[in-house]
Each structure stands twice: as C-alpha cells, then as structure tokens.
Amino acid sequence: MINLKKGFLFIALAFYTLTLTSQITVNYVEPKKVRYSLGDLINLQVTLKCAPETCLSGMKQSKIFVSGLKIEKQSEWKEIAKATFQKQVQLRVVKGKKNRSKLTILRKVDKESQFHQELFPVE
C-alpha cells in the first residue's frame, strides 16, 4: 500500500513538473479586440517554454494551424532563454465558422505534448 502511495505521489509530482516547464503563451502586439472583421490583421508573439533538453532543431515539431485565418507572415523560432523559444506571427481574418476564427499551436514529442488555442470572434 505504501508503494502505491509513493508511486502515485511520484506520478503527480512528475506531471506537475512537466506542467510548470511546458507552456505556450500568446501575447498580442496590439490590444486584442472584442470582435474582428474580415481583413483585420492580428500580430502575435508566441512563446513556447519546453523541457530543458529541447534544442532549436527540435522546435520543427511545433506546428501552427489556423481556421478562418490566413498566416501572412511568421518568423523562425528563436531561442530567447534556455528552453524558451519565440516567434512572431501575423494573421489575417479571412472567414469564420460559427462567427469565430481559430489559431491552434501544437507541439508533440515523446516526452511532452503542448497545446494552446486562441479564438477570435468575427462579425
């Protein structure tokens, strides 16, 4: 019974540690709008914090998907601190299903999976 508790504690601690070290944040260069119109440009700064052993070539497994948006420009990933990467993304609102557009950022590797989604209401 004690080994089961130790095992559970170890798994919980490992999950908590991965959660702290793995995150995706999206910062808006201009303030986020309540609603967007067709043709609006959205400039974002995407920051991805990974496990410490992640290298720049490993960032190729990070993908950006859009729905109702068009990627106008995006920079390459740049390491701004140990295991912290950043890129600039410019999006254009082109259409929206159910009056919204969507940006999805996904990174899936053997040791960790990261997912972040931003929704943009469209009028």
Instruction: Please report the domains of the chain, with CATH numbers, ordered by start residue.
Output: 23-121 (2.60.40.10)
Residues 6+ positions from 100 with CB-CB distance below 8 Å: 68, 119, 120, 121, 122
Q: Which pLDDT belongs to residue 55?
A: 76
Q: How many residues does the chain have?
A: 123
Walk along the chain (123 residues) and give the pLDDT tens digit of each residue.
566 666 555 454 444 444 444 599 999 999 999 999 999 999 999 999 988 877 777 788 889 999 999 999 999 999 999 989 999 999 999 986 788 999 999 988 777 788 999 999 998
Token pair listed for 56: 């720049």
pLDDT value at position 77? 93
CA-to-CA separations, 56 to 34, 38, 62, 66, 95, in angstroms, rounded: 35, 35, 11, 23, 33
Instruction: Report the run of H or E that residue 91 belongs to, with start and end.
Output: strand 84-93
